[in-house]
Amino acid sequence: MAIWQIKLTLLPVEGLIRIHGSVPNELDDFRPATLETNFDEIEWIDYWDSENAVGELREEAAKVFSECCELPEEQVFGQKSGNSLVVRSDDVQFRWDVRAPDLEILDSVLRIARKFQCVVVWEETGEVLQPEMLDVLEKAKTSKALRFVVDPKNCLSDIGRMQSNFRSRSNVGEEPDESGEKE
């Protein structure tokens, strides 16, 4: 995913209720990784219990996006570096390019979400949103993608600081070897 894209995952309400008993406000599994993330313990949950629903969703996506690339495990509608809907048997992700925000594409994808009784998960925070234009646009105002488009230098500088903090936190307690380098 490109830094100028906002990523939304479409999840069926029925699947959320089946797994969680209700529709949660946030999904921890969709939050970005942190220092405490143990990737060995992450279990992928298939909220899409029906291949039929995903197949019908693919048909709707083909009506919205003019391009489609079929790969062994997924279909990519649109352009990977632009606006795209990535459909797998157990996952549906929309990547919205905020360099030139196409509100018509966003509205079409949100319509697809509503048609298939889905909510959308804001990938930056794991927050579960209703597939409504105003809700998504309100969140987009504070997104990292929009920050990058508006002010790339400061955005990248912030990312660099976070990486430096990550490196220094992950090296805490390590002893230097003979050359003075931390192992």
Q: Does residue 176 lie within any of the structural domains?
A: no
Whole-number pLDDT of residue 36: 59
Whole-number pLDDT of residue 73: 84
Q: Does residue 179 lie within any of the structural domains?
A: no
CB atoms within 10 A of CB 180: 6
Domain count, the chain: 1
Q: Does residue 182 lie within any of the structural domains?
A: no
Q: Please say whether the dihedral angle defined by the alpha carbons of residues 80, 12, 59 and 135, taken in this order, is positive or negative.
A: negative
Whole-number pLDDT of residue 69: 87
Judging by DSSP bridges, how do beta strands 91-97 and 5-12 pair with one another?
Answer: antiparallel
Contact 99, 3 (CB under 8 A): no
User: Using 50, 70 and 90 to split pLDDT, how confident is the model at 113?
Assistant: very high
Q: Does residue 49 lie within any of the structural domains?
A: yes
Asked if the model's pLDDT at residue 38 lies above 80, the reply is: no
Q: Does residue 91 lie within any of the structural domains?
A: yes
Q: Tell me the per-residue pLDDT of 12-32, one tens digit each, with 9 for 90 and over.
A: 999 999 999 999 999 977 766
Range of 110's domain?
Answer: 5-170
Residue 22 exposure: Cα atoms within 13 Å on the Cβ side = 3
